[in-house]
Structure 1
Amino acid sequence: MASLSFNLISRQEFERLALEEELPIYAYPFWLETAGGEGCFRYATLTKGNELVALCPLYHPLKEVWILPPCCQHGGLYFAKAYRSASLSPLLFKDRRQAMELLLEQQKSIRYAHISLSSDTLDALPFYWDGFSLKVRYNYMLDLKNEEDPFENKVNRLVRRKVKESESRQCKVIFDIPLETIAPFLHDFYKKRRIAPVFCETILRCATVAIDRGNGLTAGLLSSSGEYLAVYFIALASGVGYSMATATKEDLPFANTALLYKTLIELRSRGIHTFDFEGSMLQGVEPVFRSLGGEQNLFIEMQKGSPSLFDRLRLRWHYQKLSKF
């Protein structure tokens, strides 16, 4: 019986396999390297003979540190399609466990790790046994392809009221607006909420590259006078849309919900079958995602060790070196 092996592969080969396996956008080298910087990644596969078991985009911005880049919800380990089922055969389950153990063996020199697994991988016991602390995280996902029960049937009255208010004010939604229109809006919005500037700069860099590749969509809600009331950037990969960045004018509670509702309809018309709401644990945001018909999913966040003060300073310097938008 063939044993599992860990194999370093090229960036190009990894991207080809990520496309073939329909992995989340956080597994694509173009997104990872734009967010975290080139030269900080190892791309690897875990295989059993000639069979692909898992893909591993490993981010090491500092020596002996294994984390996720900014603007990545999860990463580090993605199983191939055959290994994602919740009801695996005993043999496939054993292979998946061995794949985790092999990955941990390759990462044994790591003194600090902080990553998350995707919702396809809820069995994180090998990490727990290796000394990682585990924490449950939540997000919401929406099925856009269900023709018999479309998401419009699931939205609550509050959403319908906000959409109707937008229409009564003669607002309209514009798609594929220039990123230069969104950028100052996002900078101002995040600054007022005291969100670290590195996040806004990172998401705008990622948005630039994603849109150039056809992996992104921008949207804006215009007032009757032509003023933007809300803007949105959605990343796209393998038929999934990811809610990455949004900003809204103050004191306009209807604007963001109305824009999101219309954007979901547009995404479906463009062949997107699933929407990942991201940021679904924020107390003021979670009810909105739930009211649009999103279904709660959980994923596992894991940490081992702690970063030193010097690590924190070097990481800050590393992200500041990355080009600004």
Structure 2
Amino acid sequence: MTNIEKYRKYSKENRNIPLYSRDWWLDATCSEGSWDVALVEIDNKIVASMPFYIKKRAFFRAITLPKLTQTMGPYIEYPKNQTLYKRLSYEKKIMNKLIEQLPKVDMFNQSFHHNITNWLPFYWQGYKQSTGYTYIIEDLSNMDKVFKGFTSSTRNDIRKAEKNGIKVIDSEDIEAFYEIIKLTFKKKKLKARESLEFIKELYLKAKEKDAIMMKFAVKDDVVYSVSLCFYDNKTLYEIMAGSNRYINLLGSQQLLKLEVMRFASEKSLSFDFEGSMVEGVEYRNRSFGAVQTPYFNITKIDSKILKLLHC
């Protein structure tokens, strides 16, 4: 069996692999390149995996992140009852074996899942690191408590939306969703990054896996705000969201976010706001009481030309 064939079987059997590293997600998001996976096996049992996406850029080959994918990196299964010393030694051994299997490319650029807190083995192999942040609410079991953690202005916006007749509904209308996304980018004088066809394909694959949720904030059949989320067995990730900023939003964004959290609460999931490093978005995410959570961006440039360009 090839590593990909082994990984597909492993991915089906292991529900703890994060969303962005699952085989079906990679199939849907790596259409502009190809993906493969490094595996570490002990006694014919996979104990670690590291999918990677290879994309050609001009004359260069790069390992990078696919579309709409925030993090990848190593996924490691640990022996039970390890001391901290043994755990770190085990991580060094496993990560070195994963690194050895990565193909030779001109540039490596991956962000690791926030659960990975040790990148030293990569540092010792010549990689560099910078820190990104996402915002997460881990415990949504008590939504009254979560609501009290919102800023007063956010709570007031939610009450305003309810008073003005904004309703939050489930939807499968990808075209309507995409129209709002286009309006969001148009207001910024930009074009939507992803095509409608790409979003449709990803939506359908996720629906097959029961791993998607889409909600609209509406009033009188007018769509005010939209949210597209995907989830694994631990976390709900808001991958895309937008609003029709050409109308008065009446607090629809905040009410929609609350209902998305209720969905996560009902499934006993945490909620990942998916960033952002953008100052205005960061403030909005923080206003919901989310916890700033760091993750590592790991890079390495082997091409002499790219090294000069990045000086």
Same fold (TM over 0.5): yes
TM-score band by shorter chain is 0.7 to 0.9
**Superposition RMSD in Å:** 2.8
Match of 2:23 in 1: 29
Match of 1:266 in 2: 263
**Cα shift readout 1:284-313 (whole Å, capped 9, x = no counterpart):** 111222221211111100111178999xxx
Deviation at residue 213 of structure 1 after TM alignment: 2.7
Partner of 2:194, secondary structure, is helix
Q: How far apart, CA to CA, are the structure 1 residues paired with 2:302 and 2:161?
A: 47
64-73 vs 142-151, which moves further: 142-151
Q: How far apart, CA to CA, are the structure 1 residues paired with 2:109 and 2:65?
A: 7
Q: Determine whether 1:151 maps to 2:143.
A: no
Q: Determine whether 1:56 maps to 2:50.
A: yes
Gaps of 5+ in 2: 307-311
Q: How far apart, CA to CA, are the structure 1 residues paired with 2:127 and 2:210?
A: 37
Q: TM-score, structure 2 length as denominator?
A: 0.85
Deviation at residue 144 of structure 1 after TM alignment: 3.7
Q: Determine whether 1:218 maps to 2:208.
A: no
Matches within 5 A, 1:1-325: 8-10=3-5, 11-19=7-15, 22-37=16-31, 40-50=34-44, 52-62=46-56, 64-80=61-77, 89-107=84-102, 109-147=104-142, 150-195=145-190, 197-201=192-196, 202-223=198-219, 225-250=220-245, 251-252=248-249, 254-269=251-266, 271-305=267-301
**Cα shift readout 1:63-88 (whole Å, capped 9, x = no counterpart):** 852111111111132122659x9x85
Partner of 1:285, secondary structure, is helix
Q: TM-score, structure 1 length as denominator?
A: 0.82
Deviation at residue 199 of structure 1 after TM alignment: 3.0
Letter in 2 for 1:100: M
Label 1:8 to 1:212 Cα distance change in 2 as closer, same or farther (>3 A): closer
Q: How far apart, CA to CA, are the structure 2 residues paired with 1:154 and 1:200?
A: 36
Letter in 1 for 2:163: S
Q: How many residues align?
A: 298
Q: How far apart, CA to CA, are the structure 1 residues paired with 2:55 and 2:103?
A: 17
Deviation at residue 182 of structure 1 after TM alignment: 0.8
Tell me the percent identity. Answer: 20
- Whether the 8 Å contact between 2:3 and 2:37 is mirrored in structure 1 is yes
Partner of 2:116, secondary structure, is coil
